[in-house]
Amino acid sequence: MLNKVIVVVVDGMRYDKAFDALGYVQHLVETNQAALYKVKSELPSLSRPLYEVLLTGTPASMNGITSNQTVRLSNEKSIFHLTKENGLRNASAAYYWVSELYNRAPFNFIEDRIQEDMSKPIQSGLFYWEDDYPDSHLLMDAEALRRKHDPHFLYIHPMGVDVKGENYGSESKEYREQILKMGSLLAQLLPIWMKSGYHILITSDHGMSEYGNHGGITDGERDVPLFVISPRIETGIHGETIPQLAFAPLVCELLSIEPSDKMISYKFPGLKEAVTL
């Protein structure tokens, strides 16, 4: 098994709607090829603060990324930093706020769209800034990065579900249809990634309210899924709700690198001991 990880963060995808609409991913759970957890997002349940949570394992009160308007480089050590320090390759196809957190802020729309710089925390990147940039294009951007650079850590961040949720609300036909589309796109790529031996994690930063917003404390805004496809994780649906701060150290564990000293120590339910040869 390779120590390579693909993370897909489907922006704005709440747990209950993902549970109902991600048909192929749920097929993998039903056939004991994947695991499903419910994750409780950190607060505030907003995008930029939670990108930082997912990638550094630190809360907003520690890292200072407290709102979507906090436009600066992170002061924390992210998974991108850690992979680079450990001699691993990383890449990201994501919304431009991810680049602003780890490579350069503010984002330069001419110079920062395509990035290839091994000295930067994110070594290879394709970034978009139109919120309605098609999820299909973004996932193919990511697959192009994977095939070109063979990264040990690939971070993928589509925005389409969040856009439909904010425009129409979580109970709308449009929101559900976008999650169904995401499921179809993942169904095309997951067999390729699985055959290539990746650990695959599919989650979200935050959920969505029926009113088309997020940032508060309701379950709809905070509860997000975590699907894991990995021989290191016991398959099936797990009952324990996971703190979002546990995500980054789990990724480090699957990459076989040490987490940062600010990441929490958490006994992840269903995690098996690594097999040493």
User: How confident is the model over 219-263, as pLDDT tens digits?
Assistant: 999 999 999 999 999 999 999 999 999 999 999 999 999 999 999
Give the confidence band of 1 by pLDDT, cuts at 50, 70, 90: very low
The pLDDT, as a whole number, for residue 237 is: 98
Instruction: Return the SS3 of 83.
Output: helix
The pLDDT, as a whole number, for residue 276 is: 59
> Average pLDDT of 23-33?
98
> Average pLDDT of 59-86?
98
C-alpha span between 266 and 268 (Å, rounded):
6
> Average pLDDT of 195-219?
98
pLDDT over threshold 90, residue 54 = yes
pTM of this structure: 0.97
For residue 268, what are the contacts with CB-CB under 8 A and spacing of at least 6?
242, 246, 250, 253
pLDDT tens for each residue of 108-166: 999 999 999 999 999 999 999 999 999 999 999 999 999 999 999 999 999 999 999 99
The pLDDT, as a whole number, for residue 274 is: 80
Q: How many other C-beta atoms can be found within 10 angstroms of the C-beta atom of residue 89?
A: 16
C-alpha span between 113 and 216 (Å, rounded):
32
Q: Is 43 left (phi over 0), alpha (psi -120 to 50) or beta?
A: beta
Q: How many other C-beta atoms can be found within 10 angstroms of the C-beta atom of residue 62?
A: 15
Single-letter amino acid, residue 234: E
The pLDDT, as a whole number, for residue 147 is: 98
pLDDT over threshold 50, residue 98 = yes
The pLDDT, as a whole number, for residue 122 is: 98
Give the residues across from 226 on adjacent strands.
37, 203
pLDDT tens for each residue of 177-189: 999 999 999 999 9
> Average pLDDT of 90-115?
98
pLDDT over threshold 60, residue 277 = no
pLDDT over threshold 70, residue 37 = yes
Output the average pLDDT for the chain. Answer: 97
Could you tell me whether strands 5-9 and 153-156 are parallel, antiparallel, or unpaired per DSSP bridges? parallel
> Domains in the chain and their CATH numbers?
5-255 (3.40.720.10)
Q: How far does the chain reach from its first CA to its final CA, in angstroms? A: 11
